[in-house]
Amino acid sequence: MEQIIGGEGPPGPGGNGPLIRDGDTASFGEDVIQASMAVPVIVDFWAPWCGPCKQLGPAIEKVVRAAAGAVKLVKVNVDENQQLAGQLRVQSIPAVFAFKDGRPVDGFVGALPESQIKAFVERLAGRIGPSPVEEAVARARALLEGGDTASAAGLFGEALKAEPGNPGAAAGLAKCHLENGDPERARQTLSVVVPEHRNHTEIRGVEAALKLVENAGDTGDVQELRARLDADPADHRTRFELSEALVAAGRREEAVNELLELVRRDRNWNDEAARKQLVTLFEAFGPTDELSVGGRRQLSSLLFS
């Protein structure tokens, strides 16, 4: 998808070379020392057998591309350049060094999360804006919120092709499938998300929404459950089932209120089932949803009163 991700990006301000290149002992002086006189150069020492290197590599490349020429990256295979690694006292990999004005000025060892890599690069090159994939995901979210599910799904899909496993793109595409009544495709989409992104807010939100959809088929009739509860307000099981039926009917606020009332009456009922269901609902609604914000506030008040 060239319109979103285009190769290695434009050449940096310090020369005509690519932003990302493989380096070795012979080219180190030109690719790193000389090049860093014009633009900061990051050197990534890695090896094909190194698991953490495989995690770090794509992440650091992504951040360097997002910097749009304000920094360059040189990747050095330590197996093929042991003398160079020894000169820089590389004892563990991945090992990353930042060069500026011909000398090392910063560095780290090990695979860091993307947020910390971005902070590392921004110390060298200044603030980095959103990447092309992040911009595409943001446009797709706006389309989805506007009701254009088809266009949103297409853009989320393109973002996933450019960056497989991107949690925002995967969650967005899964939401599109849910909107289209296809929970199985939504679950298949989430399967591409790597373990370290399973706790991503949007991923957890879609998984919570999937759980609600899967439970919707087992709910009872709202009017019948309401009549049973009116006859016995202390029937916690019926109140919980009424909340599930209200969710399936799209009556979210009423569902939340019934669960909050259940927590108020007996927070420990059925191993805190009402509290856990509220957490699932809030994750499915999203952290900025007014019902989530207000509901969490009321739940906290009940739990800590």
Q: What is the pLDDT of residues 198-226, one digit of tens each?
A: 888 899 999 999 989 887 777 889 999 99
Whether residue 105 sits in one domain with residue 78? yes
Within 10 angstroms of residue 262's Cβ, the number of other Cβ atoms is 23
Q: Over range 6-26, report the average pLDDT.
A: 61
The secondary structure of residue 35, as a DSSP letter, is: G
The reported pLDDT for the residue numbered 7 is: 37
Confidence of residue 94 (pLDDT cuts 50, 70, 90): very high
Active site residues: 50, 53
Whether residue 52 sits in one domain with residue 112? yes
The reported pLDDT for the residue numbered 67 is: 86
CATH assignment at residue 155: 1.25.40.10
Span 22-78, pLDDT tens digits: 999 999 999 999 999 999 999 999 999 999 999 899 889 989 988 888 899 999 999
Structural domain count, the chain = 3
Q: Over range 152-164, report the average pLDDT.
A: 91
Q: Over range 83-97, report the average pLDDT.
A: 92
Are 175 and 191 in contact by the 8 Å Cβ rule? The answer is: no
Span 165-200, pLDDT tens digits: 888 999 999 999 999 999 999 999 998 887 777 888
Residue that finishes a domain, picked among 125, 145, 162: 125
**Domain range holding 298?**
222-303
Query: Would 7 be classed as within a structural domain?
Result: no
The reported pLDDT for the residue numbered 173 is: 97
Query: Would 163 be classed as within a structural domain?
Result: yes
Query: Would 3 be classed as within a structural domain?
Result: no
Whether residue 113 sits in one domain with residue 41? yes
What rounded mean pLDDT belongs to the chain? 88
The reported pLDDT for the residue numbered 97 is: 95
End-to-end C-alpha distance for the chain, whole angstroms: 54
Whether residue 156 sits in one domain with residue 227? no
CATH assignment at residue 95: 3.40.30.10
The reported pLDDT for the residue numbered 164 is: 82
The reported pLDDT for the residue numbered 6 is: 33
Burial 264-296 (b: 16+ CB within 10 A, else e): eeeeebeeebbbebbbbbbbbbeeeeebbeebe
Match 């088929």 to its residue by tokens. 217
Query: Would 5 be classed as within a structural domain?
Result: no
For the chain, percent of residues with pLDDT exceeding 90: 69
